[in-house]
């Protein structure tokens, strides 16, 4: 059964059609990758799903419920967790307090929120960084903190927007492992990423968009060989021999 279904979704900013009649769905427990050139409309599609924007047209179903135009805080409570392409930690709070903000989405109890935050941070390898302010953390740890904030809300669906951008190859490997662990625990994940080896390794299926429109959808190997995808995004160097 689909956990997320996007039906004929269009998002216009004035005359600019950022997302153009996009349809896709994600089965429970699967990872769907969303790729495409800069400005293709990937983050805008996420922002529509997560309630930041109300799509100009189309429908979004989450766990069978029509959630089109629902607000981000309602969607969060319903089990949608997301990260932002530009990380947005609360600078005055410690890493642990940042994660607790996520945990307060599902509990009013400070001790329970602290326990949840500690669990998530331990799982993500941030156990010894709990008392640091975000400004004192490495970029890789700040990206992990972003994932931790989202996970602390106890999501059924996790939306990850370029959480690996700017990381070293070994740091990318660590995040790939984290995402695999989450999948093994049954999490459904919708991931935007430009790092092809990561998206290829993680995705059950990939959707490619260009100028807001879907140009290809399929298993990673098939998508990577697709002429349209090579022309629009990957470039000839990526084409398999």
Ligand X SMILES: Nc1ncnc2c1ncn2[C@@H]1O[C@H](COP(=O)(O)OP(=O)(O)OP(=O)(O)O)[C@@H](O)[C@H]1O
* Site of interaction with Mg ion (CB under 5 A): 42-43, 85
Check residue 13 for interaction with ligand X (CB under 6 A).
yes
Of 33, 53, 85, 82, the closest CA to residue 192 belongs to 33
220 CB burial (10 A radius; 0-12, 13-18, 19+): middle
Among 85, 94, 107, 154, binds ligand X (CB under 6 A): 85
Q: How many residues bind ligand X (CB under 6 A)?
A: 12
As measured in angstroms, the least distance from the Cβ of 52 to Mg ion is 12
Of 67, 57, 85, the closest CA to residue 3 belongs to 67
41 binds, among Mg ion, ligand X, none (CB under 5 to 8 A by kind): ligand X
CB-nearest residue to Mg ion: 43
What is the x/- site pattern for ligand X, positions 168-187, by CB under 6 A?
--------------------
Check residue 16 for interaction with ligand X (CB under 6 A).
yes
Q: Which is nearer to ligand X, 52 or 114 (CB)?
A: 52
Q: Which is nearer to Mg ion, 24 or 152 (CB)?
A: 24
Q: Which is nearer to ligand X, 88 or 110 (CB)?
A: 88
CA–CA separation, 90 and 106 (whole Å): 19
Q: Which is nearer to ligand X, 38 or 170 (CB)?
A: 38
Check residue 18 for interaction with ligand X (CB under 6 A).
yes
Check residue 41 for interaction with ligand X (CB under 6 A).
yes
For residues 121 and 99, the answer to whether their CB atoms sit within 8 Å is: yes
Based on C-alpha coordinates, what's the Rg of the chain?
Answer: 18
Residues near ligand X (CB under 6 A) are 13, 16, 18, 36, 38-44, 85
């Amino acid at each position: 059964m689909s956990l997320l279904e996007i039906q004929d979704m269009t998002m216009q900013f004035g005359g600019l059609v950022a997302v153009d009649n996009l349809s896709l769905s994600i089965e429970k427990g699967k990872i769907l990758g969303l790729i495409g050139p800069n400005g293709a409309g990937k983050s805008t599609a996420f922002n529509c799903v997560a309630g930041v924007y109300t799509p100009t047209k189309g429908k979004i179903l989450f766990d069978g419920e029509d959630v089109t135009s629902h607000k981000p805080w309602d969607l969060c409570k319903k089990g949608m967790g997301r990260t932002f392409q530009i990380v947005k930690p609360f600078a005055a709070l410690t890493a642990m307090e940042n994660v607790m903000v996520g945990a307060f989405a599902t509990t009013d109890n400070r001790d329970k929120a602290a326990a949840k935050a500690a669990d998530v941070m331990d799982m993500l390898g941030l156990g010894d960084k709990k008392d640091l302010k975000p400004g004192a953390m490495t970029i890789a740890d700040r990206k992990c903190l972003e994932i931790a904030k989202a996970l602390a809300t106890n999501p059924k669906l996790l939306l990850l927007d370029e959480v690996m951008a700017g990381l070293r190859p070994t740091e990318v490997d660590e995040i790939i492992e984290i995402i695999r662990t989450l999948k093994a625990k049954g999490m459904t994940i919708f991931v935007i990423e430009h790092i092809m080896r990561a998206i290829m390794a993680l995705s059950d299926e990939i959707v490619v968009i260009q100028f807001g429109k879907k140009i290809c959808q399929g298993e990673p190997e098939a998508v990577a060989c697709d002429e349209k995808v090579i022309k629009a995004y990957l470039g000839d160097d990526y084409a398999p021999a």
